[in-house]
Chains A and B, each alone.
Chain A
């Protein structure tokens, strides 16, 4: 569903902005393809990258960004953090200090060395960067103790730090041009590819040429990657059909991909990429007093027939969910689904108990993203007496309106990052929690999860998940994965979070 909506240029902008720059890799499939040196991979993105400068990556498809920059760490296909610039890393006992051991002998494409100082410089920029500072808010200092050791000190444990360093947040660029104006369009990194300016037309075509100096260059079988900007989904499908593209990771619904002839194309379902939720942001009842009452919020959760929404509205390639965590992660629990059954009687009873037997009226923003769900939301909520007034909002005004406290709740998608810690962080910040609501119980659970060891993290975040579901913090409805189509020339392995780098792609004859 998300992908279908994303076909509207407008929707793309918003959805892309919410798709956190997680970092994942299908490393396994591409490790042994070093022989395929001269292949070209043709990909499409829906919107051009705005900016390659570190700290200012504004979200969306990060394939280009993470190909040009090598990040401090990398992501595995299963969500595990893998080595990047840092060969190894370790936390101290209370997990407030992270020590990174920098790989030796690496160079940026301007031939300057990738050393501890360079890592510190990039992370310092990221700490201030508008799009990254929040991810590094727990960091109090970043210091190079020697040429190949970096120590990151934290004010409190943060389980999202490692996944962050494995994403665009952890990108490391050449020190000289880090904040230079030129870095916006001519990035200098040490990643597996270099942006070839002569074959790049900003805003329409970006050409990556393999950087054979990268430590892991052998893992990248394509000599050249051409990324075209194609905002229109049908145009992209046409391009794939006519051989101008190799893969469409987010081609659309099962029905859409079924139209591609099997003799030339391979299709399959992606991992869950995003979820749609009714975000109940006015938990203090400033604008809509009723929302303060957890019984009302629970009633809202009970009013939705999530199975039917997934089955009929969003169709194959989507699944019901009532959680902000990715089904691919450890915190997610299928059992929690039974906590919010479709139960109108109970919902009405809860409304009555809370003193809203006659319901109330709520205004919600109508955006290109919400249109699909509007009639379902209107009907479901009216079943328990809540009348919805939709207000059309030009999406330029969406953020300010939400931050300005104009809405008690709204419908919006959020992308899965590939990490439980990041997912919950995202859902508790920004427009999804504009009043920064929290409770002591939640704080306690979060602190415990953040300081838990790798082995215990899953269970700890599941406890956070449990709390959010039971408190009816929000009303997540539906997670989507969608389908991919690949030409038979290319083998595509759906990653945990798509659009991060070229690792999921390999020549078809490689295995």
Chain B
């Protein structure tokens, strides 16, 4: 179980989420404001024939530099006696048309080829990726200017060309998204059920990728508007009424009529700003539903603080004896906010104990809440989780309401953690040695720390500690990486070790070695171990006691022998029965595909 699972717990299925995203967008003040401004500007543009007081090129000799508020000239006249209000309206339309053409061409080309390249793959993908990468590096503005004599100078044709230069970004986005969803189940299912490629692309794939496309469209539109205005400001197509031409006129007049710059620049900024804000707000609405649900301060760093339980959360079991053991958990609840405002509990009133020197297995399927329980103890749940318990203590020290600094000190010493995916849990940019030394350097000199790390590496069974010390994570094998992580975990001589599926990602031959190593170290250091696993075989091999979880609740607990021989709960029986056929039990999605999916969103 990885963070992916947390995401899947938090997020509902794709279509529901999408509908929610729009609604959530409307709950964001910035989003609403941007939408309102944009809509108003569009309406202003559409109503130009009704609203404008004069044609945009009409000039009245009596109204040269007329002040704003002159009757019939709401924004005044410019240096040629033209009606600024009428020109603003007309410019809005020019900008919107630029946006439509620029973003439209960019989207059509980018999405079209992106879908094809991502879905078909192979050669098509390689060739189109190459072409679009080429296009991406074109110095677009320079080329557009160079080609100005060729395009005839109309802003429409310029925007068509610019659209092509906008396409690569979209192409990449769509292609990557499509590659991500291509292998997902529902596409496979669609393929199996005989849908044509075109229908799969439009029905399924396009459906999934449309969120990011909408966001990009906002930015593309703003880019197109900016470029059109910029070129007009420089004098390309100056005869066309546009914000660029208006800005240029106002720039000339800046010292005598500074207010004229306000209209042109202001409306341009409003238009662009609303597009960008809308894109940002929509992206945030898609990416972080919880932020809109609960208006609590969002700190992206740090973790959830464990709260003492309040009376309205009923214990599933009566509060047990005092906090005498190494780890004591009583009535633990973990909840995540949902898009529609409610909360979903993924751990429901769990209580457990680990005695010093005891190895306790925490068993359950994916989504049973076992990892959530373990992370609660580590204090490593994401900050949007709300965690509460009647009691949660490690070595007699209560973790309730403990602030981040104290938790960190505790994690450095009393509690340690061994993850499931060894590779993903090492920082790829730093050497093994520097990562391990960093955890130690608080209490000792760098030299001592290095010696300690080398000893530890040797202790966990690495044959050439010096070389491994200097290696980067990608240079060592998965088994070695897991040994490194074990070394890192035990470096602080913890009292409680939490191991989250420590062998699942490893080869079968290495699994046994790692389990042996864990057992040895446990004995040597006298640690208590909470071993999170879905595998009863591992439990039988290693554990003293076992706890079985399902749907966030503890269904059974007892010592390994008794549970194996007399499982009380049918679920436990099911799990035990499946030891023989390990693969069928494992229902966790393949980490790779799930991860891509998460990134895609």
Contact = CB atoms under 8 A, between A and B. Distances in A.
Interface of A: 4, 7-10, 233-234, 237, 252-253, 255-256, 258-259, 308-309, 311-313, 315, 366-368, 371-372, 374-376, 379, 392, 394, 396
Contact of B248 (A8, A253, A256): A8
B64 interface: yes
Main secondary structure of the interface of B (DSSP, over half): loop
Contacts of A237: 255
Contact of A312 (B64, B234, B235, B255): B64
**Max chain A C-beta neighbours (<10 A), residue from B65, B81, B252:** B252
Given A255-B65, A366-B239, A392-B153, A312 B81 contact: yes
Contacts of B240: 392
Nearest to B55: A375
Given A256-B256, A375-B82, A9 B235 contact: yes
Contacts of B239: 366-368, 371, 392
B152 interface: yes
A149 to B, nearest CB: 50
Contact of A396 (B59, B149, B252): B149
Contact of A313 (B64, B238, B255): B64
Interface in B431-453: none
A312 B62 contact: yes
A374 B79 contact: no
A308 B149 contact: no
Given A368-B235, A374-B57, 15 more contacts: A4-B79, A8-B235, A8-B238, A234-B252, A237-B255, A253-B256, A255-B65, A255-B257, A259-B256, A311-B61, A312-B81, A313-B81, A371-B80, A392-B239, A394-B153
Q: Which 3 A-B pairs have the closest CB atoms?
A: A312-B61, A259-B255, A375-B59
Contact of B252 (A7, A258, A313, A375): A7
A233 B59 contact: no
Given A255-B256, A259-B255, A313 B80 contact: yes
Contacts of A371: 80, 238-239
B58 interface: yes
B252 A309 contact: no
Given A315-B64, A376-B61, A394-B149, A258 B256 contact: yes
5 contacts: A255-B65, A312-B60, A368-B238, A375-B58, A375-B59
Contacts of A366: 239
Nearest to B254: A234
B245 to A, nearest CB: 9
B238 to A, nearest CB: 5
B251 interface: yes
A10 B238 contact: yes
A229 B67 CA distance: 34
Contacts, number: 71
A328 B360 CA distance: 107
A394 B152 contact: yes
**Max chain A C-beta neighbours (<10 A), residue from B80, B153, B253, B254:** B80
Interface string B228-239: 000000110011
Nearest to A305: B61
Nearest to A392: B239
A274 to B, nearest CB: 17
Contact of A256 (B59, B152, B235, B255): B255
B255 A309 contact: no
A375 B64 CA distance: 13
Contacts of B256: 253, 255-256, 258-259
A108 B57 CA distance: 54
A251 B64 CA distance: 19
Given A4-B79, A371-B238, A371-B239, A313 B61 contact: yes
A40 B82 CA distance: 42
Contacts of A372: 59, 80
Nearest to A370: B239
A9 B231 CA distance: 13
Contacts of A374: 57
Nearest to B151: A394
A233 B58 contact: no
Contacts of A234: 251-252, 254-255
Nearest to B256: A255
Interface in B34-68: 55, 57-62, 64-65
Contacts of B81: 312-313
